[in-house]
């Protein structure tokens, strides 16, 4: 299943190739203070592939807090956060916001809270390496 997504203005867009075809899509509502304030609900497919494209990189703010092991890509034009990345041992991993999906039946989403309070940095990175999208391509500039 190919899932397109983007921020409101389209500056940050993505294509998530979800393999194999999902019966349902986990939608994790993170309980950290940033995600709570932004309504962050994230998903990932460890066996899938993600292509992220930023048309105007100068219009993207990158924000990292706490352990500074994840980068929130915030469109400074419209304020939407469609993707979060984490570099682990030289490899880029990502999760995407289900709120940024386009054309996905909401009935496929299985919402659940997710709390990572008390998780140490090594455990956090290991969890991301296991569960986040590990095949990530990130491009910038005007589309070809």
pLDDT in 10s for each residue of the chain, 144 residues:
999 999 999 999 999 999 988 899 999 998 888 989 999 999 999 999 999 999 999 999 999 998 899 999 999 999 999 999 999 999 999 999 999 999 999 999 999 988 888 889 999 999 999 999 999 999 999 765
Residue 139: predicted pLDDT: 94
Cβ atoms of 31 and 117 within 8 Å: the answer is: yes
Residue 21: predicted pLDDT: 86
CA 126, 45, 24, 12 torsion-angle sign: positive
Cβ atoms of 11 and 56 within 8 Å: the answer is: yes
| pLDDT tens per residue across span 27-62 | 999 888 898 999 999 999 999 999 999 999 999 999
Domain locations along the chain: 2-140
pTM score, whole prediction: 0.93
Classified by CATH at the fold level, domain 2-140 comes out as: 2.170.150
CA 94, 32, 69, 64 torsion-angle sign: positive
Residue 32: predicted pLDDT: 87
Q: What is the torsion angle, in degrees rounded to the nearest 10, for the CA atoms of residue 8, residue 14, residue 20 and residue 25? A: -30
Residue 143: predicted pLDDT: 65
């Amino acid at each position: 299943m190919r899932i397109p997504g983007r921020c409101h203005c389209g500056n940050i867009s993505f294509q998530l190739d979800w393999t194999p075809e999902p019966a349902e899509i986990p939608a994790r509502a993170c309980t950290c203070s940033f995600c709570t304030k932004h309504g962050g609900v994230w998903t990932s497919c460890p066996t899938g592939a993600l292509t992220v494209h930023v048309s105007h990189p100068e219009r993207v703010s990158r924000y990292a807090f706490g352990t500074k092991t994840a980068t929130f890509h915030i469109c400074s034009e419209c304020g939407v956060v469609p993707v979060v990345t984490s570099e682990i041992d030289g490899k880029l991993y990502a999760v995407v916001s289900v709120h940024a999906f386009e054309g996905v039946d909401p009935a496929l989403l299985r919402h659940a809270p997710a709390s990572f309070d008390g998780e140490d940095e090594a455990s956090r990175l290991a969890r991301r390496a296991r569960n986040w999208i590990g095949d990530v391509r990130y491009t910038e500039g005007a589309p070809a």
